[in-house]
Structure 1
Amino acid sequence: MVKIKTLEEIELMRESALIVSKTLGMLASEVKPGVTTLHLDKLAEEYIRDHGGVPAFLGLYDFPNSLCMSPNAQVVHGIPNNTPLQEGDIISIDCGVLKNEFYGDHAYTFEVGEVAPEVKKLLQVTKESLYIGIRKFKAGNRVGDVGYAIQKYTEDHGYGVVRELVGHGLGRKMHEDPEMPNYGKRGKGKKFVEGMVVAIEPMINLGTQRINQLQDGWTILTADNKASAHFEHDVAIVNGKPEILSTFAYIYEALGIKSNEEDEFRQKALVL
């Protein structure tokens, strides 16, 4: 059952989401060749706790760390380890925070140094598909409208859309209804209404849509060992329109990137 949030609850969720955003922004300048994902995980846990939150992934379903760290062909749910990042890698960092009894949860795929042009293009298209999907998350539309928009845009570029893993509702639980696939048919599925909050998260592969799971019980990777990209935002329906609660602005500030991609989804100014 979908749990509708009040405006007050949405503002509490924005607080949780922004701790995630600031954590990813802090990590942005730390992602470089030679750094281990376990080191980044420890930095994130300390930062989250110092800012009044609790690492939401740590212990969730018995996950052992604060971040899901998924390099290159890993799609999601990678476990941080002591393997150093290398020039040309990409790394999806998925982070969750619990504060004021509400969750924030979003993700960004970072470039490690200079990456191959075809991988850079995958990241660009996947992030673009996130916003294309968010535009369809508005009162009166349905789950299939978001999934169809993401699927069409990414498949038109020749990429594989992961089927087994989906976005989700968000609130007092990390995973609530409705499920938010990155594929679907227009006009199908749960209808969106005022006060819904979801995490929209395209998981898009450079090659096949097929995936495998490692024996650790967590790590998902592409079946053809080609790169995968993952971007995620927390979004609420406010005044019938999508309102992004998370932001990549802290990442962009750290990396010196100029962007207005989120402006159309903000009914109130973001203060950095």
Structure 2
Amino acid sequence: MTITQDDELQGLQVIGRIVANTVRAMSRALEPGITTRELDDIGRALLDAAGAVSAPEATYDFPGATCISVNEEIAHGIPGARVIKAGDLVNIDVSASKDGFFADTGATFQVPPVKQRMDQLCRDGQRAMQIGIAQVGHGKPLAGIGNAIGQFAQKRGYSLIRNLASHGVGRALHEEPSEIATWPTRGDRRRIHRGMVMTVEPFLSRGGLLAMDGADGWTLYADPPAPVVQYEHTIVATDKGAIIVTLPG
């Protein structure tokens, strides 16, 4: 989607706040003993109350309102009977639509007690996303996002999952520009233009290189097996940088 009018930006910001508030509320409910299905029920209730529709459910018939991935699961985890335990690493990914506008956001959380090594991975995962967002602006190369994130990851001894990319969003959950790498690439000569709506969502890892399909047809796992964190915002490109629309409020 390309934003051309103020009312389009406002519509995107409305759904952006809804999904951001949903992630925040779900993260606050994280505690040992809660199941991922119960956590998903909280997310569904919040989306329903705001008049929003789960995007993965409506678009792909995903078996849940939100994606909840625990520990070895790195993305697209199906909510179910899995019980959250102390020390778990939990990724919550919420995307939804309202009035024809789509927004997508997510974050990884630690269930206390917090482990210092994992806490650093989470902090650096957030930083990697921020570095990617800082590369967004009218006329800048799309590949600059992944190149900057890659430099950051390499300096700190991290790897990046190289087959889970950022993407265009706005009027659909996934649209052009597709396959925006969050790792270093060559040959991508596409440019960012003002009003372009996209996600920035690097998957930072301690050794994982690829996302591999699980037996359920949805859940993804790191190959080789390793801890992975993901942080994601939906942004709009402008002449002066990026407007983040998935902020709680």
| Partner in structure 2 of residue 224 of structure 1 | 224
CA distance in 2, matches of 1:29, 1:208: 28
* Amino acid corresponding to residue 213 of structure 2 in structure 1: Q
Contact 2:164/2:211 (8 A) holds in 1: no
Aligned position for 1:264? none
Contact 2:193–2:238 at 8 Å: present in 1 too? no
**CA distance in structure 2 between the aligned counterparts of 1:114 and 1:69, rounded to whole angstroms:** 20
Q: Secondary structure at the match of 2:149?
A: helix
**TM-score (structure 1 length as normaliser):** 0.86
Q: Does 1:201 align with 2:194?
A: no
For the Cα contact (< 8 Å) 1:148–1:186, is it kept in 2?
Answer: no
Note the residue ranges of structure 1 that are not aligned, 5 or more in a row. 251-271
Q: Distance in 1 between matches of 2:44 and 2:188?
A: 39
Distance 1:22 1:221 in 2: 27
Deviation at 1:226, TM superposition (A): 2.1
2:181 maps to 1:181: yes
Please give the alpha-carbon distance, in whole angstroms, between the structure 1 residues aligned to 2:149 and 2:65. 28
Q: Helix, strand or coil: the match of 1:204? A: strand
Structure 2 gap segments, 5+ residues each = none
Deviation at 1:119, TM superposition (A): 1.3
Task: State whether residues 105 and 232 of structure 2, in contact with CA within 8 Å, keep that contact through their aligned partners in structure 1.
Answer: yes
Q: What are the residue-to-residue correspondences of 1:150-169 with 2, within 5 Å?
A: 150-169=149-168
Q: What does the per-residue CA deviation read over 1:226-247, in whole Å, with 9 as the maximum and x for residues that have no partner?
A: 2110100010013442111112
- How many Å separate the matches in 1 of 2:140 and 2:192? 6
Alignment match, 1:261: none
Identity of aligned residues (%): 29
2:212 counterpart residue number:
212
C-alpha contact (below 8 Å) 1:69/1:76 kept by paired residues: yes
1:54 CA drift (Å): 1.2
Offset, 1:188: 4.0
Q: CA deviation at 1:140?
A: 1.3
Shift of 1:144: 0.7
Instruction: Summarize deviations over 1:27-77 as a string: whole Å, max 9, x none.
Output: 122011111111010111111110121111214222111111111122111
What displacement does 1:112 show? 0.6
Between the aligned partners of 2:113 and 2:225, the Cα distance in structure 1 is 20
For 1:186 and 1:216, the matched residues in 2 are separated by 34
Residue 8 of structure 1 corresponds to 7
TM superposition shift of 1:185 = 4.2
Pairwise CA RMSD: 1.6
Gap change, CA 1:211 and 1:55, over 3 Å in 2: closer
- 2:191 corresponds in structure 1 to 191
